[in-house]
Structure 1
Amino acid sequence: MSRSFGRRAAAVLAVASATVVLAAVGATAATYPNPGTVSGNVSVHDPSMAKVNGTYYVLDSHNGLEIRTSTDRTAWRLAGSVFPNGAPAEVADYTGGDRKNLWAPDVSYRNGKFYVYYSASTFGSNKSAIFLATSATGAPGSYTQVGKVIETGTSSNYNAIDPNLVVDPNGNWWLALGSFWSGIKLISINPSTGLRNGSSIHSLATRTANSGSVEAPYIVYRSGYYYLFTSWDFCCRGTSSTYRTMVGRSTSITGPYVDRNGVALTAGGGSEVVASHDAIYGPGCPSVMFDSDGTVMAYHYYTANDSRLGINLVSWSGGWPALY
């Protein structure tokens, strides 16, 4: 959840945050490109992007899961929400009663339908659940709740938020998920229902540094490798956010994933894709898709006033992603 800062406080925090982050990662202001040009309604948090029949969709957290659309990936308009009147009552047990404060949707188009997996939780708690809703059109208010996919409680050692649906080259469905605690997990999904298949759970990434801060998994398959993108460190702090996007890869969707140096992601490994630079603070919660002009990564970042949509193309020199 974003927090607002006064302009004077934001300016001070911006300088302090930039100094701390750049020192921590050894980056310079020129290390990473700025986001590509976007316009219109682009104040988002936890974006997920998909392209369906020539239209781009970005779904993001809060307000019943907001829906933005674009025909050119540049100019965006707010179309409405998945649940304009709030999600079904079953989410309230996890959100403290607020049926519109939903997080981190994952949108994709499968079997002639829009699939949206989303999180229900409260900040700092792992009493959480991931739900699935589907729609034939993707239009605001057209979604039907399918059901609860997975839940965690306060005694669980992982957290059921930040879902990402992955379909492997063999047609198997998987859901990556997780945040803090014991890190990133992967479960099997039944493609006929969109719900969990069996009880197996695979551990993909974990950290002990910075309170175990690893979350927002996103997996894509390319040229024989599965690439697991995650966010490290802390979001939701305006210009003092230290979020950064990391990656590892594996020849198997269930792992083990390693970084450029061969360090396992289950041992704290990860190669940096983008971090704070210039006036871009806390770039994270990545969503990666393959488009007609190449690979595209959408993410959010902070300014002094809000969190915004960032979009960059991705190159794959040497088999590892880099923004440009």
Structure 2
Amino acid sequence: MKHITSFLFLLAVAGVLQASPPRKPSSVIPIGKVMTHDPVLAKQGDTYYLFATGQGISVMSSKDMKNWKFEKPVFDKAPQWAVEAIKGYNGHTWAPDILYHNGLYHLFYSCSAFGKNTSAIGHATNPTLDPSSPDFKWTDHGKVIQSVPNRDLWNAIDPNVIIDEDGTPWMTFGSFWDGIKLVKLTSDLNGVAQPEEWHSLCRRPRSFDLPEDEAGDGAVEAPFIMKHGEYYYLFVSFDYCCRGLKSNYKVMVGRSKTVTGPYLDKEGKALNRGGGSLVVQGNRDYAGVGHNAAYHLDGKDYFICHAYSVAEEGTPKLIVREMTWTPDGWPIVDL
């Protein structure tokens, strides 16, 4: 029952269950009042676009990353391929990723039966993020990968795509089960490249005597890879999201000189053997800090994530912080 309650809480704060009508697209909201889960960011021209979990994938725009305007969601209804392919899928799309590659904006999104690895990751493209442009149109390309219970020991949610220094696209993803995976994609990003190449990037110990939707002390999800200097940095979220002020989410990191790993923490322990160095966690103002993304924009590095406001009784908030680095190259984020 507690997992159903957690799911309903997530849907409510993400805008799927609404006690009042949704805001009009012209509504401008200061950053301190932006409610969001699983944020990712892209910039086109002088405008930032934020994509997040919500009805049809929520979209907001901003000129300064401080004041945000609601835009039309990516999808006006659940992708039909997901409705047909995923048993128990309720039409909710969540945990997106966004990047610009070969003249298109690529959006990846999660479709899942909550708490099970009956999941899939979809892919949609648009030549522009500007909704006023005559070229603005989302084209859905359907499923990239799918996880199936009793076949796969991984979960196809929480995608993040990076193009390596050789121009090869890779998608990292995952949650609970056997941790965080990485797979090589085709050049159009529509599917898994052949011959298939898979890697395990991060694992935590997990008892398989637990129910499917429990990870015990082994919860890890929401990977994001950022290149900085000579290293690739793998950010992941440990422990539990989506429980309001009871959430104990935190962001951990490891780094590698190759995108495929192994990723090592500050102590030299591999993340695929339970390692991970703390980047940021909850404090007296916020709980459940996690599901982050990281970007180099306008000459600075930014760290974005969601967290639950203590002052507002667990309301999920968008967190945007400038990220700095230690002299030996580890990220610093002040909450």
TM-score interval, normalised by the smaller of the two chains: 0.7 to 0.9
Question: Per the alignment, in what secondary structure is the counterpart of residue 119 of structure 1?
Answer: strand
Structure-1-length-normalised TM-score: 0.85
Between the aligned partners of 1:40 and 1:258, the Cα distance in structure 2 is 34
Against the structure 1 CA distance between its residues 273 and 234, is the aligned structure 2 distance closer, same or farther, given a 3 Å change threshold?
same
Unaligned runs of 5+ residues in structure 2 are: 1-6, 11-28, 207-215
CA shift for structure 1 position 41: 5.9
| One-letter amino acid of the structure 2 residue matched with residue 203 of structure 1 | S
Between the aligned partners of 2:318 and 2:61, the Cα distance in structure 1 is 12
* Segment drifting more, 296-305 vs 232-241: 296-305
Q: 2:200 aligns with which of 200, 203, 219?
A: 203
1:313 aligns with 2:305: no
Contact 2:90/2:113 (<8 A) preserved: no
CA shift for structure 1 position 95: 6.8
CA shift for structure 1 position 39: 2.6
Question: Per the alignment, in what secondary structure is the counterpart of residue 38 of structure 2?
Answer: coil
Question: Per the alignment, in what secondary structure is the counterpart of residue 319 of structure 1?
Answer: coil
Contact 1:2/1:237 (<8 A) preserved: no
Contact 2:31/2:65 (<8 A) preserved: no
CA shift for structure 1 position 139: 5.1
| One-letter amino acid of the structure 2 residue matched with residue 238 of structure 1 | G
Contact 1:40/1:77 (<8 A) preserved: no
Against the structure 1 CA distance between its residues 216 and 193, is the aligned structure 2 distance closer, same or farther, given a 3 Å change threshold?
closer
Q: 2:220 aligns with which of 209, 214, 217?
A: 214
Correspondence 1:95-114 to 2 at 5 A: 96-99=88-91, 101-114=92-105
Contact 2:48/2:61 (<8 A) preserved: yes
1:70 aligns with 2:62: yes
Aligned to 1:18: none
Contact 1:108/1:114 (<8 A) preserved: yes
Aligned to 1:247: 253
CA shift for structure 1 position 200: 1.9
Contact 1:2/1:236 (<8 A) preserved: no
Question: Per the alignment, in what secondary structure is the counterpart of residue 3 of structure 1?
Answer: helix
Correspondence 1:1-324 to 2 at 5 A: 1=7, 3=9, 38-39=30-31, 42-83=34-75, 85-92=76-83, 93-94=85-86, 96-99=88-91, 101-138=92-129, 142-155=137-150, 156-198=152-194, 199-208=196-205, 210-303=216-309, 304-317=313-326, 318-324=328-334
Against the structure 1 CA distance between its residues 80 and 169, is the aligned structure 2 distance closer, same or farther, given a 3 Å change threshold?
same
CA shift for structure 1 position 320: 0.3
* Segment drifting more, 237-246 vs 300-309: 300-309
| One-letter amino acid of the structure 2 residue matched with residue 221 of structure 1 | K
Against the structure 1 CA distance between its residues 158 and 193, is the aligned structure 2 distance closer, same or farther, given a 3 Å change threshold?
closer
Against the structure 1 CA distance between its residues 64 and 48, is the aligned structure 2 distance closer, same or farther, given a 3 Å change threshold?
same
| One-letter amino acid of the structure 1 residue matched with residue 176 of structure 2 | F
Aligned positions, number: 290
Deviations 1:163-209 (A, max 9, x none): 00101111111000111100000011112353221222100000016
Contact 1:158/1:178 (<8 A) preserved: yes
Higher relative contact order (CA 8 A, sep 6+): 1
Between the aligned partners of 2:300 and 2:184, the Cα distance in structure 1 is 29
CA shift for structure 1 position 307: 1.1
Unaligned runs of 5+ residues in structure 1 are: 5-36
| One-letter amino acid of the structure 2 residue matched with residue 278 of structure 1 | R
Aligned to 2:4: none
Q: Which runs of 4+ in 1 moved over 6 A?
A: none
Against the structure 1 CA distance between its residues 167 and 218, is the aligned structure 2 distance closer, same or farther, given a 3 Å change threshold?
same
Deviations 1:204-240 (A, max 9, x none): 0000163421110000111111100000000000010
Structure-2-length-normalised TM-score: 0.82
Question: Per the alignment, in what secondary structure is the counterpart of residue 81 of structure 1?
Answer: coil
Between the aligned partners of 1:242 and 1:272, the Cα distance in structure 2 is 13
| One-letter amino acid of the structure 2 residue matched with residue 53 of structure 1 | G
Between the aligned partners of 2:252 and 2:265, the Cα distance in structure 1 is 9
Against the structure 1 CA distance between its residues 95 and 39, is the aligned structure 2 distance closer, same or farther, given a 3 Å change threshold?
farther
Deviations 1:98-144 (A, max 9, x none): 33x11100011122211001110022100100010011122568311
Between the aligned partners of 1:102 and 1:204, the Cα distance in structure 2 is 25
Aligned to 1:14: none
| One-letter amino acid of the structure 2 residue matched with residue 133 of structure 1 | A
Question: Per the alignment, in what secondary structure is the counterpart of residue 282 of structure 1?
Answer: strand
| One-letter amino acid of the structure 2 residue matched with residue 226 of structure 1 | Y
| One-letter amino acid of the structure 1 residue matched with residue 160 of structure 2 | N
| One-letter amino acid of the structure 2 residue matched with residue 108 of structure 1 | L
| One-letter amino acid of the structure 2 residue matched with residue 217 of structure 1 | P
